[in-house]
Structure 1
Amino acid sequence: MEDVQTIGIIGAGVSGLVAARTCREYGYFVKVFEKDSEPGGVWASSRRYPGVTTQNTKDTYYFSDFPMPGHFPAWPSGEQVQSYLMAYAKKFDVLPDIRLSHTVTQVDFRNNKWIVKGINKRGLFEEAVDFLIVSNGTFSDPFIPEIPGLKSFVEAGGRVYHSTEFRSTEECRDKRLIVVGFSKSASDIVTAAEATARTTNIVYREAKWKIPRFIKGINMKYLILNRLGEALVKPEQHNFMERFIHKIGLAGRMLSFMENYTTRKHGLDQMGLRPTSRIQEQAFGEINLETPGFYDKIARGKIVPWKGEIASFDGKLATLTSGETIDCDMVIFATGFRQSIPFLPDRYKEQLTDSKGNYILYRHILPAGIPKFAFVGYNTSIQCPISSEFGALWVCEYLKGRVHRPSQAEIVKAGTEFIQWRSRYRQQGSASGLSTMPGTIHHVDTLLRDMDAALPFFSLIPDWLLTIKPGRYKRVRKKIVARNGQG
């Protein structure tokens, strides 16, 4: 697209920052619109709950040519991740392109340009760009379920938070607390809050597998965060190695071992917390890293688990679907997110999703029926930095005409087939079907093939047997960018 000179990017989190850096490398002028007062997305201070860390180890969660600092712990804190992202933005001179506290309220395509409108500290703003990338992420709209009587709880002095709004354990000091959910954020928050809360409860619909950080003394990254780990849980096998490990039964034996080891280590059977779903099922986005102390505090009665949902509130009394009741002063909903693009005109939203609200995208990037428009970072993944990095490269190669430009029919076909494939196994664990798990590296491989590039064989071996280290992708990234004559 030779007429594209200026690219607008909505969001300055992991995906928005790498998209901005990549577009600049390709010679485009960039305008990044970020509604928060600081970059970082989900890692920004305005959204971090106490004790949040990465689920990946630091050597598997970074951009290919910008490693995390060596002094960071194995699992960096949210504050450290944001500092890493800020250092990345400074290193590649992205900060001057970011318009902070700019909330986009409307976009429209007119006269071959996108008109971006919104609100900033000075009032209304309006900008024109030639191409638009949306990177507001799959964790953009905090979800709190509508529960009968919730208003009476608030009127009685009860306090309601989403996990992204909870800032300090001092907020729940001496309060009777309920945390709703069983995700990593739920277990992190309830474990930290127990130190100050008067009583601490966790209400959940389904128990999730929480992978121990060390399995028989071996860091979990060597069992999970590599191509072997991905191959174990992928329901379909695409290459010889994947087919082989399933044919000899290795996948089934290793998954059973991890389930049994986790169950024994934490005493899940005794506490009634062994998940009813297998690890392979929950690998579609629900499986998460253990929170140190979580199960121990349950075993000691410090945290009380309740299976079910909150059916209603009557003042400060919460009634569960089981009929049991809990007295509470504060409820924190770690209930995930709903994905929406409120600034996009309805005529485009109708083409973007199916009847169930699933996003229909080609390569998780291109929508049908929306001109000069792409997504980067719309694929929930534990390998977010590298998947977003190569997603951004794919967009730039697309603009340069060096990857196949699918027809509208091809986009719909590919997006629909992905949703149908996913629904055969597990629909939970992602916002509106936006997830490449449990095949994120397969997704990156697909993007590389589209760009006529691939990871060298000598890098594939440690990718399989050790860990997925983004640094191994540095050379192939450099090779792709060099085609543009500016890498």
Structure 2
Amino acid sequence: MRIAIVGAGFAGLASAKVLRQLGHDVTVHDKAPDVGGVWSRTRRYPGLRTQNNKQTYHFSDHPMPRRFPQWLEGAQVQEYLEEYVARFGLAPFLRLGTGVEQAVPAAGGGWDVTTTGAEAGTEHYDHLVVANGIFCEPAIPDFEGVAELTAAGGRLIATSELAGLEEVRDRHVLMVGYGKSSCDVAVEVSRVAASTTVVARSLLWKVPRRIKGVLNYKYLLLTRLGEGLFPYQRLTGVERALHARGSALPDAMLGSVEKVVTAQLGLPGLGLVPDAPFASIAKASVSLATEGFYEGVAAGTIAVRRDTVVARFLEKDGLPHAELSDGSVVRADVVVCGTGFRQEVPFLPEDVQHRLLDERGNFALYRQILPVDVPDLTFAGYNSSFFSPLSAEMSAVWIASYLAGHHTVPAPETMRAVVRDRVAWMEDRTDGHSARGTNVVPFSMHNIDEVLGEVGLDVGRATKAVQWLLPVRPSSYRKVAQRLARRVARQASADSA
């Protein structure tokens, strides 16, 4: 098939590599001038680093270079992806600096894809893979008084739009949000800004890279046991015993971690103990504690205004300010929003987008991949997890298997029912914060198990047993795509005979 892939991040590149292995003619489109997606130099904010250590954040068949540190900077992740492109010969199939303006279903099947930029034009493809990322467009709240802020010389941007620290040197910076990006940027900004104030509607639990300064957090959350502490949609095996009626083990384990983290980060003295229990990390992406953040709060270089939001912006004494919901007013020369992203596919026609979403606007994708009611279309990387590179890669394997007819999917009505139940559970579990049905944290390995189980290429019990106590190694899955390619080749040979 001729296959168009939208996006040159982890998901797009993995899809290109796996589909090429099965003989497809692929073209990867990305409006950025380089590969990387959120790691592109056009989107990296100061202080951007991975949440995972390098042993757990890579593709199955391409480990991180030994020269890289345990936690990688944004530029190093982008360099890693450049090396991936070179190793697997993907460069000829990339069209960088070329955005997809629209993709329209063709009358006889497939898609007519219109692009802008370096290689603008319209071409027909048999299949379309959407890999534009679930963090594609920054979501900046609709604040009152933006015009007043701008007129007074203020600036409102997203974290990904902060290109460098010179933009905030000697300025009064207001960070909106308490997620990873906000805290990362706050630390870097505080080194040069006149003041740095973080406005947090609610506090999230942050996990230190090393518990008690010794135990790498990967042994806590990046194992199957760590995942098993949170009840999955359907409990089986060991997890059923963990969460048996009356069992207090999961709560006790999480409670002990809460006590250690609270003491280690000095949260009581800083007034930054979250209201929700530590177990609430299951309701959103777990945020790694930014090094230097709590130290900055203690030193007074970072101020946190908890349990409040920006009510409006205003001009005061000719200078830009923000009035908070508690009635206080703070200087706001530069307002940086780490308030999340919108998951959008603006290049698809409205009628197609309508068929992709449920009544609450969540993506209704079977296995986080297949829209039941839109032919010749799949999604890769719409399963944000602790192991996003591996999750995206295994989605690519599912797509390749599906297109080859290597596995079959249930009847449409069955898939719709599975999707409805899944999304409803995700919405309930996260109090409506499931990133429109795309965030599978903390159930990363469950998602991979389901994807590979349906394809018939899951890893063995011995591998999974090790993963219960030791961090998941993506390299354990390095032969999955090769096994699929061999099976498809054997089937094609048998059919031709």
Q: Tell me the TM-score range normalised by the shorter chain.
A: over 0.9
Cα distance, 1:286 vs. partner?
3.2
The residue identity in structure 2 corresponding to 1:436 is V
- 1:86 pairs, out of 64, 72, 82, with 82
* 2-structure distance, mates of 1:236, 1:210: 25
Q: How has the CA–CA distance of structure 1 residues 234 and 84 changed in structure 2, closer, same or farther, with 3 Å as cutoff? A: farther
* 2-structure distance, mates of 1:160, 1:134: 30
* 1-structure distance, mates of 2:237, 2:490: 37
Cα distance, 1:456 vs. partner?
1.8
- 1:424 pairs, out of 422, 428, 432, with 428
Cα distance, 1:71 vs. partner?
1.5
The residue identity in structure 1 corresponding to 2:117 is N
CA contact (8 A) 1:208 1:286 kept: no
Cα distance, 1:187 vs. partner?
0.5
* 2-structure distance, mates of 1:478, 1:245: 35
CA contact (8 A) 1:114 1:131 kept: yes
The residue identity in structure 2 corresponding to 1:459 is T
The residue identity in structure 2 corresponding to 1:223 is L
The residue identity in structure 2 corresponding to 1:98 is L
* 2-structure distance, mates of 1:206, 1:286: 14
CA contact (8 A) 2:46 2:188 kept: yes
Q: Is the partner of 1:60 in helix, strand or coil? A: coil
The answer for unaligned runs of 5 or more in structure 1 is: none
Q: Is the partner of 1:313 in helix, strand or coil? A: strand
Cα distance, 1:125 vs. partner?
1.1
Matches within 5 A, 1:237-276: 238-247=235-244, 248-276=247-275
* 1-structure distance, mates of 2:147, 2:379: 37
Listed one character per residue, the Cα deviations across residues 374-393 of structure 1 (whole Å, up to 9, x for unaligned) are 00001111211111111001
CA contact (8 A) 1:201 1:306 kept: yes
Identity %: 36
Matches within 5 A, 1:362-373: 362-373=366-377
Q: Is the partner of 2:229 in helix, strand or coil? A: helix
* 2-structure distance, mates of 1:407, 1:236: 22
Q: Is the partner of 2:489 in helix, strand or coil? A: coil
Superposed CA RMSD: 1.6
The match for 2:215 is 218
- 1:449 pairs, out of 444, 453, 466, with 453
Q: How many residues align?
A: 482
The match for 2:278 is 279
The match for 2:67 is 71
CA contact (8 A) 1:48 1:164 kept: yes
The match for 2:333 is 329
2:102 pairs with 1:103: no
Q: Is the partner of 1:355 in helix, strand or coil? A: coil
- 1:182 pairs, out of 178, 182, 186, with 178
Cα distance, 1:235 vs. partner?
4.5
Listed one character per residue, the Cα deviations across residues 343-398 of structure 1 (whole Å, up to 9, x for unaligned) are 11111111111222111110000112211100000111121111111100101111
Q: How has the CA–CA distance of structure 1 residues 286 and 475 changed in structure 2, closer, same or farther, with 3 Å as cutoff? A: closer
The match for 2:153 is 157
Cα distance, 1:486 vs. partner?
8.5
Cα distance, 1:94 vs. partner?
1.0
The residue identity in structure 1 corresponding to 2:38 is V
The match for 2:495 is none
* 1-structure distance, mates of 2:211, 2:233: 26
Listed one character per residue, the Cα deviations across residues 186-210 of structure 1 (whole Å, up to 9, x for unaligned) are 1000011101000110001110111
The match for 1:311 is 311
CA contact (8 A) 1:246 1:252 kept: no
2:489 pairs with 1:485: yes
Q: Is the partner of 2:295 in helix, strand or coil? A: helix
CA contact (8 A) 1:135 1:375 kept: yes
CA contact (8 A) 1:228 1:464 kept: yes
The match for 1:396 is 400
CA contact (8 A) 1:183 1:286 kept: no
Listed one character per residue, the Cα deviations across residues 273-321 of structure 1 (whole Å, up to 9, x for unaligned) are 1112233322233321010110111122211111211010112120011
Cα distance, 1:461 vs. partner?
2.5
The answer for unaligned runs of 5 or more in structure 2 is: 492-497
Q: TM-score, normalised by structure 1?
A: 0.96
Cα distance, 1:410 vs. partner?
2.6
2:163 pairs with 1:167: yes
Listed one character per residue, the Cα deviations across residues 227-259 of structure 1 (whole Å, up to 9, x for unaligned) are 111111235563322223334533211111111
Q: Is the partner of 1:393 in helix, strand or coil? A: helix
2:117 pairs with 1:120: yes
Q: TM-score, normalised by structure 2?
A: 0.94
Q: Is the partner of 2:479 in helix, strand or coil? A: helix
Cα distance, 1:113 vs. partner?
2.4
Q: How has the CA–CA distance of structure 1 residues 350 and 38 changed in structure 2, closer, same or farther, with 3 Å as cutoff? A: same
* 2-structure distance, mates of 1:56, 1:246: 27
Cα distance, 1:428 vs. partner?
5.0
CA contact (8 A) 1:367 1:411 kept: no
* 2-structure distance, mates of 1:399, 1:430: 28
- 2:23 pairs, out of 27, 30, 43, with 27
CA contact (8 A) 1:285 1:428 kept: no
Q: Is the partner of 2:384 in helix, strand or coil? A: coil
